[in-house]
Structure 1
Amino acid sequence: MVNKLKVIGHFMGDKHMEGKLPNLKLGEVRYYPQDNPNIMRNTVREISSQTLIRIFRNLFPNYIVDIDEQDNRVNHIRYEDDTISYIINKAYICAKEATPECDGTIVYLHNGYVLIYKEKYKQMSSNKAYCRKDKEMEELQYKGYVGSVHYSNEDKVFWGKLEQIDALVTFEASNKEDLEVSFIDAVDNYLLLHTQSIDSI
């Protein structure tokens, strides 16, 4: 599976969220890290543009990091042959997801420089999955991930899939209680797979 970048925050920042931001998932992009209390500002360090290129070749190979030839700074990040800038100044990108056992890693583009921050794991209100009605549709939530809930009359099973991710991850069970357990397992397995994609930067 090829990882993709996905802008989930407002390009003017996330002050309107009042600090209530979930942990970033791999490839998710927001702007202005000062609006995100999960980012540990005291962990900042600078990396070279060449290191950023290596990170993208490893994690996001379909994206091109454009470098200014004169000062060797990052201009922007774009998708393959697209001439339109995709990720620009003040953007920060999740290169490693935060877990209870390990901090996440954030790459921040700042006036041509590239900075690395650690993102602390944010404990959700409950480690247990929970259901809610959202726009007439029932869903499951766990660790910031959302799973749809469906029922197949033909197969007599409940099933769902993880929403808002690029991969297709499904889960199923014979009843709603077991579906929650299956959903939690699906999220944990997905996180394990993606946190192993990069051990350290």
Structure 2
Amino acid sequence: MPRDKWNALTLTFIISAGVSVLLMPFAFFLVVSFSPNYIHALSLAWVESKVIDGPTQQLITRKISVGPAGGCMWYNSSISKCDLGVPYVPSSEYLHLAPNQNVTSTFPVAMGRALPLNHVVVILMGLCLTVALLDIFFFKGGIALYIIYFSGFMLWIVYFLESTYVGTLSHRLDKIYEHEDWEYHAGNGFILITVATFVASIFLCGGGAAGD
């Protein structure tokens, strides 16, 4: 009887640890889903250009950031112009781009439609965590592990799609002639998603090895 109780406590601890580890990816994906419109410091990627305005000889800064909640633009001002539209395409008029500058075309349109999947995964992860907690406290670990693995699988799908998006953006920016004027940067949101995905994967791999 004591051995059965110890085994039950061990299983509960393992599953609880799994839920706790997945809470971090859930929190990271949740905050990134508000970027960059609501949380400017987070984005999947952003590009910036600094040029000298001929007539005034002032340094003009242009910045474009993109994330699951659309994108934002800045033109020589701390006030942003944001758009919830998906896929996000910045405005050449707002950025005062010359007719021969096509930096706005570097933002992928087709792959941009996949970015809202970040919101879908946040909802799925929330539901999975809720069911997992119910499973721990009421059903004693019957299906929670499968739900955790499913959440990890969905993390990798979204991470792959968002990695492809930012990679394509960087590659296109390098190919166009104004790449010396525009600098590409990976956003803090993409860093959070990368960390969350790999931390969850390390735990899942470790759990699988321990189970074997």
TM-score class, shorter: under 0.3
Q: Which of structures 1 and 2 has the bigger CA Rg?
A: 2
Where is the helix percentage greater, Structure 1 or Structure 2?
2
Where is the strand percentage greater, Structure 1 or Structure 2?
1
The one of the two structures with greater contact order (alpha-carbon pairs below 8 A, sep at least 6) is: 2
